[in-house]
Amino acid sequence: MARGFSIRAKIICSIIVPALMLILVIYLDYVHLNSLGQSAELILSKNYKTIKAVHQIRQLLELRHNFILFNLLDLKQTDRNNVAATGPQILRLLQVCTDNITESGERELIEKIHASYRRYDLLFASFFNGRSTVTKPKRSYAGFFRAHTSLDNDFDTLMSINEEAMEAADVETKKVARRAQLYSMVLVLAAIFFTATFSLFIATRISGPLARLAESLAAVKEGSGDYPRFHATSKDEIGFLTSEFNRLFERLKAYDQLSLDRLTAERLKVRQAELAKARFVADLSHQLKTPMTSLSMSIGILAEKKHKTLSGKHAQLVETAKEDCNRLSVLINELLDLSRLDAVLKPWPKEVLEVQEVINKCLAPLRQQAEEKRVQLITEFASGLPPIAIDSFRFPWAITNLVGNAIRYTDRGGHVALRVEKREGRFYFECEDTGNGIEERYLPGIFDRFTQFSEREKMGTIGLGLAIVKEIIEQHGGDISVESKVGKGTTFTFWIPIQTEDVNDESSSS
């Protein structure tokens, strides 16, 4: 497929053109800001040093002036060392003023200040060193003060010249700043307008076909088998993508038909295999159960009379046969459970029954088993339990499986406890035993079908009981968990919600 102006080229143009505009704006701003910086530099470098030096000179002259006044009035003198150090400092600061002459008339003024300072310094030195005129002290002091005043006036004039220059430079700087600001605003607005217009144009050219393609794809319904055909509106990557979607939908249509045919055939095979397996297991378990029952009864009768009629070795063989018969009976029962599992998991109507009555009926056939094994079976019911809404066909199976497993894996002299209580709108059932416990590594998969571990393998089971229990409890809207420690026992806890109101509504409507 021949391509025109590609999306890549459009995107590159949408980036390069605004970038060039931005570079131009930055360059022009740099030129104006550089000019503004030079103007500011003029203000700082040309005049600031001179003004600062004049301020410092006047402070030193004021220190000398105060020294003379204190001497004249016979007051306590200031530190003579500080006053003596003013001479070199004033000369250094006058040199700073000389080195920073920038304005017209400033050089002549500074030369005049140098001459005035020399005369002033001679007068001050005479007073400082004690060589003041004795015959005419007033005239000597008057001459000093006149020299001080004249020098101070010259410094005022020097400061005025530099301050006026700074004001002029400040005005020029403001003009440059306003001009730079105006240019920047114009350029930025122009760049924003151009960039927005160009980007909108490019975005429309790119997003328009994509939006139409996306809307058409969103209209395709999953599993409908009806795949659309799109019309390519451009010759770029979007047009190429549209053509590829058309090819993909054609291949999907053919693939869906092939997959449907294969899935139908596989489902038929799986269904036939499941039916055959169920029939085989059901037939096998029923055929084994009858002779196994007779064999168990016979072995049981022999075991009861072994002490009277059999020797020690024969009695041991009979006891071993009895244990093997028990294991085979458990295995046959689980095979029957497997054959009945599909029927058990079908929905059954719920009934509102008394919890204690349901539990007692479930445990009645297990009490004899517990007594024979000398395992204490304990039931505890919290006071004030309301009726429970359960499937009376499946729920007892969960109770008998849990308690039966607990008895089976609890050694002689131990106990199994079943507790029932109500908390926060739920019935909680706890089955606790003092058996051998389960290793921690087996706990995550304990409710999976055909899971076998530790003592269960020795008992000959196939690992369906707990899986059935979990499915029954989940169908009642609850959940189950397990805690176990090796050598201390296992505790299963499950809960189901209280739903008597819903059951009553269903029964009344039916």
> Residue 419: beta bridge partners?
380, 430
Quick one: 56 and 170 in the same domain? Answer: yes
* Beta pairing, strands 426-433 & 415-423: antiparallel
Q: Exposed, middle or buried, 361 (CB in 10 Å: 0-12/13-18/19+)? A: middle
178 pLDDT higher than 70: yes
Residue 184, pLDDT score: 73
Residue 300, pLDDT score: 73
Quick one: 14 and 58 in the same domain? Answer: yes
Residue 39, pLDDT score: 56
Closest residue by Cα to residue 209 from 230, 178, 229, 188: 230
Quick one: 495 and 409 in the same domain? Answer: yes
Q: What integer is the mean pLDDT of 381-392?
A: 90
Quick one: 392 and 271 in the same domain? Answer: no
Residue 458, pLDDT score: 46
210, 236, 263 — which closes off a domain? 210
* Beta pairing, strands 388-390 & 415-423: unpaired
Instruction: For residue 216, tell me if it sits in a domain.
Output: no
Residue pair 336/292 in contact by the 8 Å Cβ criterion: no
Residue 266: give the domain boundaries: 224-344
B/e letters for 196-225, b = 16+ CB within 10 Å, e = fewer, are eeeeeebeebbeebeeebeeeeeeeeeeee
B/e letters for 288-318, b = 16+ CB within 10 Å, e = fewer, are bbeebeeebeebeebbeebeeebeeeebeeb
CA triple 470-472-478, angle to 5 deg:
70
Residue 361, pLDDT score: 92
Q: What integer is the mean pLDDT of 44-61?
A: 80
Instruction: For residue 218, tell me if it sits in a domain.
Output: no
- The amino acid that residue 422 corresponds to is K
344, 371, 390 — which closes off a domain? 344
Quick one: 235 and 297 in the same domain? Answer: yes
pTM over 0.75: no
Q: State the CATH number of the domain containing residue 236.
A: 1.10.287.130
Q: What integer is the mean pLDDT of 34-63?
A: 74
344 pLDDT higher than 60: no
40 pLDDT higher than 90: no
Q: What integer is the mean pLDDT of 205-215?
A: 70
Quick one: 244 and 290 in the same domain? Answer: yes
224 pLDDT higher than 70: no
Instruction: For residue 219, tell me if it sits in a domain.
Output: no
Closest residue by Cα to residue 409 from 289, 491, 338: 491
Cα–Cα distance for residue pair 178/186, rounded to 1 Å: 12
Higher-pLDDT residue of 136, 500 = 500
Quick one: 161 and 272 in the same domain? Answer: no
Instruction: For residue 30, tell me if it sits in a domain.
Output: yes
Residue 414, pLDDT score: 93
Residue 490, pLDDT score: 93
Q: What integer is the mean pLDDT of 151-168?
A: 84
Mean pLDDT lowest for which of 6-10, 214-218, 364-368, 407-411?
A: 6-10
Count structural domains, the chain: 3
Q: State the CATH number of the domain containing residue 461.
A: 3.30.565.10
Quick one: 282 and 378 in the same domain? Answer: no
Instruction: For residue 74, tell me if it sits in a domain.
Output: yes
Cα–Cα distance for residue pair 56/369, rounded to 1 Å: 115
Cα–Cα distance for residue pair 470/464, rounded to 1 Å: 10
CA triple 457-459-463, angle to 5 deg:
55
Average pLDDT, the chain: 77
Higher-pLDDT residue of 159, 462 = 159
Closest residue by Cα to residue 112 from 102, 100, 96, 98: 98
Cα–Cα distance for residue pair 61/63, rounded to 1 Å: 5
Q: What is the pLDDT of residues 456-467, one digit of tens each?
A: 444 445 566 788
Q: What integer is the mean pLDDT of 158-170?
A: 81
Q: What percent of the chain has pLDDT over 70?
A: 71
Quick one: 371 and 284 in the same domain? Answer: no
Quick one: 328 and 356 in the same domain? Answer: no
Instruction: For residue 217, tell me if it sits in a domain.
Output: no
Max mean pLDDT range (409-423, 439-453, 456-470): 409-423
Quick one: 333 and 291 in the same domain? Answer: yes
Residue 136, pLDDT score: 44
344, 367, 384 — which closes off a domain? 344
Closest residue by Cα to residue 435 from 457, 461, 463, 456: 456
Confidence of residue 255 (pLDDT cuts 50, 70, 90): confident
Instruction: For residue 125, tell me if it sits in a domain.
Output: yes
Confidence of residue 282 (pLDDT cuts 50, 70, 90): low
Q: What integer is the mean pLDDT of 147-159?
A: 85
Cα–Cα distance for residue pair 469/492, rounded to 1 Å: 11
Instruction: For residue 476, tell me if it sits in a domain.
Output: yes
Cα–Cα distance for residue pair 469/447, rounded to 1 Å: 8
Higher-pLDDT residue of 131, 146 = 146
Higher-pLDDT residue of 142, 156 = 156
Quick one: 65 and 182 in the same domain? Answer: yes
Mean pLDDT lowest for which of 52-56, 301-305, 481-485?
A: 301-305
Residue pair 453/464 in contact by the 8 Å Cβ criterion: no
Q: What is the pLDDT of residues 285-330, one digit of tens each?
A: 666 766 777 777 777 777 776 666 666 677 777 777 777 777 777 6
Confidence of residue 363 (pLDDT cuts 50, 70, 90): very high
Higher-pLDDT residue of 130, 261 = 261
Residue 357, pLDDT score: 93
Q: Exposed, middle or buried, 409 (CB in 10 Å: 0-12/13-18/19+)? A: buried
